[in-house]
Chain A
Amino acid sequence: MAQVNTVKPAQAAAPRPAARRHLSDRRIVQLFIFPTIILLILMNIFPLIYSLFLSFNEYSVISADAPRWIGIENYADILSDAQFWHNFGVTGTYALISVALQTVVGFGLAMLLRTKFTGSGVVTTLILVPMMLSPIVVATFWKLILNPSYGIFNYVFGFLTLLVPTIIGVIVVALLWGTLPKLLGEQRANIGRIALLILIPVVAHLVWRFVLSQEGTYGDFFTRVTYRETAPEWLGEPALAMWAIIIVDVWMWSPFVMLLCLAGLSAIPEYLYEAAAIDRAGGWFQFRRITLPQVMPLLLIAVLFRTIEAFKQFDLVMGLTGGGPGDVTETVSVQLYQLAFQGQFDTGKSSALAYIVLVVIIAVSNLYIRALNRAREG
């Protein structure tokens, strides 16, 4: 918004204060904030108080009985229930692994897209598309993609697994590219580069071949992953279901971490790197002492936000597995939904569970909003 709005002179606009009822500033503030506050009290505060009350009662919305006060029995029930601790563990594991992977992948993507190239804006936006999509729709079409007989995930997965050495090789080459002259001297740098380009992928490939050949033959691997009888059934196998959800979550939300990291990276003043280069600081040193600390505040915001969202995770799990197979992917949110809206409609107990979740979320969001406020001021 660079354009300057010129204020029209009084006679042109001809405002007639006398003709209008003159509102005092205080009155305006009240009028302006009023709708927001009322709505939030009506739709958030009142329901929360109501459910706090219900959490101390035995009550079901589908029965005719009035709520019956039972004290802390609901809470005691939940906290002594092994199912709750199992689900809590599932939620925690999921949040931890998922957020950690998103942080690594998102940060890596940001480092990759940091230097501008032709079309980098479009590429960045394309990578950001998944996070804007509806989680439930995402879950639905990932279900098709993860299907062991007609999904494409196993093919892409098998192919990428075979490509791992090449990918690692390319990354190593890219990382060493700039530092080579310092290591080998300017003259021998090009020979070093060519050697790297050939050597690293070949060595990595041979090692990989050895690793994959430990169970069956190397050539078999792709077939094993894609052949219908042996293909991993991501959503149906207890050992894989959680990973499937994590993969989809990482696919969807790494771009979010990337977006915040990119903002942090672009705000780092160039002179810090110049000063470091003058002091002959190496690439790793620059990364550890300049890049990382400078990006940290925004990375922290991203991680906290993702942690909150991961604890709330409902849509993806419902869409992908519905908590199954068995209860291996049953997060607390899914348990809450089942308790409140399925079977017995145990409203009292589910309110108590909701309050337990609430306490956890509030604790994390507190940290989050504080970090946000610091970023706002900084």
Chain B
Amino acid sequence: MATTYSPSSPVNYSTRVDKVGRGQRISVTIRAIIAVLIAVLMLVPVIWMGMTAFKSRPEAVAAPPIVFFNPTLEGFISLLTERRQLSAAEQAVMQARTDLDYPNQIALLRGQTIIGTSAFPRQLLNSLIIAGASTFFSVGFGVLAAYAFSRFDIPGKDDLLFFILSQRMLPAVVVTIPIFLMYKEVGLYDTHFGMILLYTSFNLSFSVWLLKGFIDEIPKEYEEAALVDGYTRLQAFRKIVLPQAITGIAATTVFSLIFSWNEYAFALMLTSDVARTAPPSIPLVLGTGGIEWAAIAAGSLAFLIPVVIITFVLRKHLLRGVTFGAIRKG
């Protein structure tokens, strides 16, 4: 990297000193301002969705779009309930009543009455059950396999690890066709167990790789000392390795949760009603007469908020997570 020319004039400035100079400070300020503007710009779609969730039906589809609006819970109520259109006479009766609860009052503004809960809460619950259970198993199996891969000489270890990761690269649609047939055959189609099984295997390759990175960082000497002290291998694993790997396990758990929580293609093709999760249902939230954007936005918001919070909690581990544990620190 040597430069071929020699300085023609004396060096009258220093690179390092200018790091504290005024020009440098201004340049950092400009960068900061641009960065903040870009961050705001990038979040506009998310913020807009959050706003739409609290808009009334006409406000949500107003043209030109409304920035300042009267917040209402109408979107959430349309999302969570099934409603029926009232006739004019019924409306008059309802309006005369004073004992209506808040959701019914909102529904009445649109001439409707609530007749039950919608499928959405159940789908959200399905998402939670399937994501939770599959994460539990994939991290559980993953930590065992990662420990074995990290500590022992296994014949063909690199090939095995390669094979495990390559499973993650397969497109969902490709894997789904035979799994669909298989599930139809054994009766796992549209069941919670089927989805848990699928997501577990889907996340397993990820968790093995990520956890192996974390366990590799725990010095072998701790376990060796424990073995010398008379612990068995299993005890050493449980009492030395697991507590040390707890950060890694937590990060892996959260990543697996997000992956299963966000998953769409498998859920779309392998569930229909009983085990349907939220992602395939959100675009299909339909109100009476056309797309109800406030309700869709409310559903999206309910679905995204946990992920946004988790992103902040996880920010130190994001890099590891997205590179399968290969790259540790920035």
Contacts and interface: CB of A to CB of B under 8 A. Distances in A.
A145 B197 CA distance: 36
A189 B283 CA distance: 56
A64 interface: no
Interface in A225-274: 226, 228, 251, 255-256, 259-260, 262-263, 266-267, 272-274
A7 B221 CA distance: 10
The bracket for how many chain B residues form the interface is 35 or more
A39 B205 CA distance: 10
A340 B77 CA distance: 36
B179 A43 contact: yes
A139 B284 CA distance: 12
A144 B323 contact: no
Interface string A131-165: 11111111111111100011110011000000000
A275 B30 contact: no
Interface in A25-59: 25, 28-29, 31-33, 35-37, 39-40, 42-44, 46-48, 50-51, 54
B327 A44 contact: no
A17 interface: yes
B65 interface: yes
A333 B264 CA distance: 13
Given A120-B35, A152-B44, A351-B178, A42 B201 contact: yes
Contacts of A47: 175, 177-179, 182
A329 to B, nearest CB: 16
Interface stretch (A73-81, A92-100, A308-316): A308-316
Contacts of A281: 1, 3
B251 to A, nearest CB: 12
17 contacts: A5-B240, A7-B222, A28-B148, A31-B144, A36-B144, A36-B145, A36-B204, A39-B201, A40-B205, A130-B46, A133-B46, A133-B307, A263-B327, A280-B7, A301-B327, A347-B181, A365-B166
Interface of A: 1, 5, 7-10, 13, 15, 17, 20, 22-23, 25, 28-29, 31-33, 35-37, 39-40, 42-44, 46-48, 50-51, 54, 61, 109, 112-113, 115, 117-121, 123-145, 149-152, 155-156, 170, 173-174, 177-178, 181-182, 186, 189, 226, 228, 251, 255-256, 259-260, 262-263, 266-267, 272-277, 279-281, 285, 289-290, 298, 301, 308, 311-312, 314-315, 318-319, 333, 336-337, 340-341, 347, 350-351, 354-355, 357-358, 361-362, 365, 368-369, 372-373, 375-376
